[in-house]
Structure 1
């Protein structure tokens, strides 16, 4: 993102000038997250979630590296090695609870980040590549979380691996071969545990690399904003530092308070008690469910209970589950409204909140037993989920009459009269630092 009014890095100390010439890392940081990166002046706290997601990922990487030093990817001792971490390793209980609950906090932040993007139209051109990379990050997170949940080798870990990998057997002709290839055998055992451990260790670094691409893509068109109006001049922006580093710091403080409260006072609230029982292939748990952040997609999977002509219900469920995520890739082209922000789209706003309620209902049904009325509710909620993106959103885009947009970001913040006064003062933002 290149603004002619952006401040430029000019080191004064001889050593910093030398570094800037030989390895311009300070310049890169200054232009990426410092005063050299102008951002819209009207961003609210919903724009904190990107930084919070990055913080959550770093917590997962640091705690995961230390946990990997003590974990043993062997089906005969994996469960005991986790107990060893909890009981014998110095601060092992802290590391394990931080890692387990950090995954939940990571998904909470990312889900809020996604719904913020949906409401404010952050997926619309020219930011569609940012959105697409974000969906890739979400898929990588889901794969990483699933493989990590298998590693403790408790009852839910084992049977979760068996059920989820068994979904691939629904694919005609090659499904069983794919399942056996993933597991390294006919059932979850040493081969599967080693593969999942290796990939669980590797994928967070792949996620980190994709996040760098995500941020890089963000810096080309610049950040979106609550109005959806493009930046028109220096009066519409402020430097990222110190204005938004301070705001992100406040948000990070709230995040850490919630995270530590969960970790110290309710560390097992989001887990399953049955996973504290060693894996037993001969004893099936009465209620097999994945972690809570997979529940909406699990409800979609279980919503298909009858064959459709020659297509088995299991295959329909698998296609719908993966399709519910892949559908997000096409969102920039499904929503054709020229207005980005939901604040100026009255009909879209109502359907957005219906979608939020629909996803929450799917999540509740996904965590419930596979019985009535939850199956029927899942079917209705699944039908609405796909209808929202494939039918309602395109129709609303064509038929809706949006509210009038402000002429600029500054007008939305200060009002029309004060904007004119600001422009009369030289077109410079009153919050911009002096040259």
Structure 2
């Protein structure tokens, strides 16, 4: 009686080709084999079995199926006022797919699609113009996109705010503090022919040389009296004049106020860099990320891949390197398995800390582009624990836009760390 020798044979096959594998007992590979055809990789293993007589083991002919993941993704819009554009993209394995017909519907069915069955172009994009009936008050509408791609049905839904109210004399009145230190206030009201307009999104465009000043929430939303408010927030060490333009859309017409010039002088704290760290996922996006997204009162638990980069107060782990407050950036991108993308960029710290030699925390502001949509400002906290023995990082993320939109890791996200990752004291 002989025991099989554990060994693995791997052989690549092109998609949709006939394959046949024969293992001869005359070699050291024999016994009971496990045969798997997955993603065009044919795998044979022989481990821990016991045989008495030599014999041949043949794999049955089969077609190796290509592992294809297809998605459809609607791009977010700010609001649709009387008319606008709905667009999105169809991909398979992250590659655009052309000549796919997409069926578009809305609930409630108040949206008029110029083409409710657009076809994707060479870049996988589809789009159609839409109209909102006159006198439609601000309404939350769910748009659904459905398509059949390579024999599989895929779909996506997105929530839009739409309106087409009659307004002859819209009025956007805004008060902005002209001199602030690290925080300031914006207040205002939105009227239509002297009547308050409620539940309308107000956007703030900030011109800042270093992208170090933000407005939260952005967008803000008017209350039942047409009033809104927001806060200007600066990162430490900023001394500059910025400009803020306030805008919204009423009855199909854009209404703006400004630009308002604000002098910002936010002093550095006594110790801006108590430590320094560079923390990155190894090799880009890593799998097994699980996040919770709360938006417009709807909660989703999503799985996918995530890429994270944090660079604070130093770029090298050299023990003699000083802390450099000018080094300040963090970003993270989550690609959900359903095709949704959450790209957080231009992260700027409010403060950092290192509770111990293995853990680093950054609090700050970051810009989210969801499914390629316009940027939304979030406050975010990233906590990272670096295990130098296993070269792994455990990440926890919480981000909130102050307007009911929350993005957070549902469970700690564990990844391989890049070779450059470190946490260190300031020399």
TM bucket normalised to smaller: under 0.3
Higher helix proportion: 1
Q: Which has the higher Rg, Structure 1 or Structure 2?
A: 2
Higher strand proportion: 2
